[in-house]
Amino acid sequence: MNASASVNPSSDQTETLTDGFHVLVEALKANGLDTLYGVIGIPVTDVARIAQAKGIRYIGMRHEADAANAAAAHGYLTGAPGAFLTVSAPGFLNGLAPLREATENGFPCIQFGGSSDRATVDLQEGQYEGLDQRAYAVPFAKASYRIDRIEDIGLGVVRAIRAASSGRPGGVYVDLPDSLLSQTMDAQAAKETIFSALDPAPAMIPSEESVERALELLEQAKNPLIFLGKGAAYARADEEIADFIHKTGIPYQPMSMAKGLLPDDDPQCTASCRGLAMRTADVVLMIGARLNWMLGFGKGRHWNPDVKFIQIDIDPVEIENARPIAAPIVGDIKSTMKLMVEGLAHHSIHASAEWQQLLDADTKKNDARFGSKTTEVTDPMNHYNALGAVKEVIDAHQDVIIVNEGANTLDDCRDIVAMYKPRQRLDCGTWGVMGIGTGYAIAAAVATGKSVVSIHGDSAFGFDGMEVETICRYKLPVTVMVFNNGGIYRGDFENLGTDGDPSPLTLDATAHYEKMMEAFGGKGYYATTPAEVKQYLSEAIESKAPALIHVQLSIHSGVESGHISDLNPQPIVGPLAGGHEMEDFNEKVVDGKLVQESPAASTN
Ligand code: ADP
Ligand code: TPW
Ligand code: MG
């Protein structure tokens, strides 16, 4: 008998006994978990097979970290937890770092981890892939559970969903020992153990006083400013937020993943003059954005020293994380913004015309300066003019979801490529993680059916590039773009020693990443000019089929650490003390290959 014959999905309805595999799958289905990402093996192989047989879409990935990232993005994009499946110990551990990252980002997802025989694991007898996984997951997950009895599977699934979705969403671990999966019980009795989580992410209405205090503060403000974060995008309060912004005329700043919540070309969007807006705002309303490192913790030289904050967050512990808050509002953004809009009936709140003019003038100046960089002709291309071409294509394809990772490739893309619709930009997130890209892109295509453009630095792509095979195997409408400047940050760093090895930052500028896609049947493109980027990207998006565009950049394009070089500690002595200048190579693309005509420049 072959393995698939041992799983007979049609016969189990008539059996009097059922087992842990089937109860788990039924519990997932009863709770609307219709997609599983994962890598299978002992003991979860048949979880995936039975799930697929029962109508759950199973996406088999090439690495658990990518499966975890896919589940996290699925959760963010759908508003319900994404789920992924891992094998015992090594597979489980591969999923843990991204589970922690999902929690940091506030993305709801659940890792279902198969684990080995508990009795021998707990006595450390040397079991195959033996690890006390539930305990290992505790500091990594928002919650960590183990289901030991078949009759508790329904309960365990519901607890995981509620923990992942409610309050600030996050990553939850559920341990599934092998003995659980093979336990049996009466099929009819098992049905009665399964139930659906009722309202797992309930509205959290803020107190009237807190909303009133915030409105009063805004009423007194001369230069009010709004920050929109990915919590605001996740909250799906698009109309309430747009209504409040447009009725008050308050300028706003989108954080990276909140781009598109209102279209980037909205006249109140002041993304191009963030520095001036932060230095001059007197009251700032934070909607689903943390005052963490990304915003200088809300204090210091970037901010008006007299600024007062209003902070809306579902997590009460987030309030006053790093500084006093004049008007905290603990509640969900949708309910809160509805009350804020209603409150406008008895509060007169408007940004001053002078301030708006000041911001508009700065925006104009910055846009002109930056815009010229995106159209400047260089050979080879740099990040700016390559992304200028991407921007034009995305302007004409506003439904596309953008995934973005790298350093300069991330920062410059965020600044150059405009977004027009909510929840269509996914990126490295709060921790600035490399290796999220292809997992996020796969989930974006699977969860929404939309076309996805996944824009990676050449280093970033190295973390998760093997998933191009998954993109091809499932025929997903994903266009991968690899921005190759030959390294981490750029490709012209020198080995400061004498062994002749590449520098620690150097990667292969002359590689042909498009061949990776061709290896699996997708379409590969090699682009050396902005015109080619435009042509190939339009063609690839419209094909709705797997494609990879290798975007050949100069090895001098990019700056060390991208836009966060101030976080990079500098040596005080030695050749790197006080920063280092780069001399220019004479490089060009000849016959589809980047060539250097002179030796490497000195870095000191
Ligand atoms: P960004 O990186 O875009 O600035 P953050 O991830 O730092 O955004 O902040 C998102 C914040 O939004 C988190 O503090 C989270 O608790 C909060 N949040 C998430 N969902 C909601 C919601 N539905 N209502 C209120 N706050 C939310
Ligand atoms: C999991 C450290 C930050 S940015 C980056 C690394 C390795 C790569 C930047 O080079 P890339 O982009 O992608 O080629 P570009 O355009 O600037 O050349 N490991 C993890 N996460 C992070 N953030 C790092 C390492 C890092
Ligand atoms: Mg690079």
Q: Looking up tokens 């290959």, which residue turns up?
A: 593
430 lines ligand 1 (CB under 6 A): yes
Distance CA 552, CA 523 (A): 17
Residue 600's pLDDT is what? 41
pLDDT band at 7 (very low <50, low <70, confident <90, very high): very low
pLDDT tens-place string over residues 16-29:
999 999 999 999 99
Q: Ligand 1 mean position to 101 CA, how many Å?
A: 14
pLDDT tens-place string over residues 233-274:
999 999 999 999 999 999 999 999 999 999 999 999 999 999
Residue 577's pLDDT is what? 87
Q: Measuring from atom 24 of ligand 2, which residue has the nearest CA?
A: 434
Average pLDDT over residues 94-100: 98
Q: Mean pLDDT over all residues of the chain?
A: 94
Q: Ligand 1 mean position to 215 CA, how many Å?
A: 20
Q: Residue 560 pLDDT > 70, yes or no?
A: yes
Cβ-contact 141, 175 below 8 angstroms: no
Cβ-contact 113, 42 below 8 angstroms: no
Q: Ligand 1 mean position to 383 CA, how many Å?
A: 30
Atom of ligand 1 nearest to the CA of 204: 24
pLDDT band at 488 (very low <50, low <70, confident <90, very high): very high
pLDDT tens-place string over residues 499-549:
999 999 999 999 999 999 999 999 999 999 999 999 999 999 999 999 999
DSSP label at residue 399 = T
Residue 492's pLDDT is what? 94
Cβ-contact 76, 51 below 8 angstroms: no
Q: Residue 6 pLDDT > 80, yes or no?
A: no
Q: Residue 602 pLDDT > 60, yes or no?
A: no
For a ligand 2 pocket test, name from 385, 434, 456, 567 the mutation site with the most ligand atoms within 8 angstroms of its C-beta.
434
pLDDT tens-place string over residues 410-434:
999 999 999 999 999 999 999 999 9
pLDDT band at 12 (very low <50, low <70, confident <90, very high): low
Q: Ligand 2 mean position to 460 CA, how many Å?
A: 5
pLDDT band at 587 (very low <50, low <70, confident <90, very high): confident
* % pLDDT > 90, the chain: 89
Q: Looking up tokens 């893309």, which residue turns up?
A: 413
Atom of ligand 1 nearest to the CA of 256: 3
Nearest by Cα to 137 from 109, 163, 174: 174
Q: Looking up tokens 């500084």, which residue turns up?
A: 323
Residue 3's pLDDT is what? 43
Q: Ligand 1 mean position to 167 CA, how many Å?
A: 10
Q: Measuring from atom 7 of ligand 1, which residue has the nearest CA?
A: 290
66 lines ligand 1 (CB under 6 A): no
240 lines ligand 1 (CB under 6 A): no
Residue 378's pLDDT is what? 95
Distance CA 289, CA 432 (A): 16
CB atoms under 10 Å from CB of 600, counted, come to: 16
Residue 595's pLDDT is what? 76
Average pLDDT over residues 538-567: 95
Q: Residue 176 pLDDT > 70, yes or no?
A: yes
DSSP label at residue 476 = -
pLDDT tens-place string over residues 271-326:
999 999 999 999 999 999 999 999 999 999 999 999 999 999 999 999 999 999 99
231 lines ligand 1 (CB under 6 A): yes
CB atoms under 10 Å from CB of 239, counted, come to: 12
Cis peptide upstream of residue 177 (ω within 30 degrees of 0):
no
Q: What are phi and psi of 415, to 5 degrees?
A: -75, -30
Q: Ligand 1 mean position to 262 CA, how many Å?
A: 17
Of residues 598 and 458, more confidence is placed in: 458
pLDDT band at 133 (very low <50, low <70, confident <90, very high): very high
Residue 593's pLDDT is what? 74
Residue 566's pLDDT is what? 85
Atom of ligand 2 nearest to the CA of 558: 17
For a ligand 1 pocket test, name from 234, 332, 339 the mutation site with the most ligand atoms within 8 angstroms of its C-beta.
234
Residue 106's pLDDT is what? 98
Q: Ligand 1 mean position to 292 CA, how many Å?
A: 11
Q: Residue 603 pLDDT > 90, yes or no?
A: no
Residue 544 class from Cβ within 10 Å (0-12 exposed, 13-18 middle, 19+ buried)?
middle
pLDDT tens-place string over residues 140-169:
999 999 999 999 999 999 999 999 999 999
Q: Measuring from atom 3 of ligand 2, which residue has the nearest CA?
A: 407
Residues with CB under 6 A from ligand 2: 406-409, 432-435, 457-460, 483, 485, 488-490, 558, 562
pLDDT band at 585 (very low <50, low <70, confident <90, very high): low
Q: Which ligand is nearest to the CA of 228?
A: 1
Cβ-contact 232, 329 below 8 angstroms: no
- Bridge partners (DSSP) of residue 145 are 174
For a ligand 1 pocket test, name from 297, 313, 329 the mutation site with the most ligand atoms within 8 angstroms of its C-beta.
313
Residue 563's pLDDT is what? 87
Atom of ligand 1 nearest to the CA of 429: 2
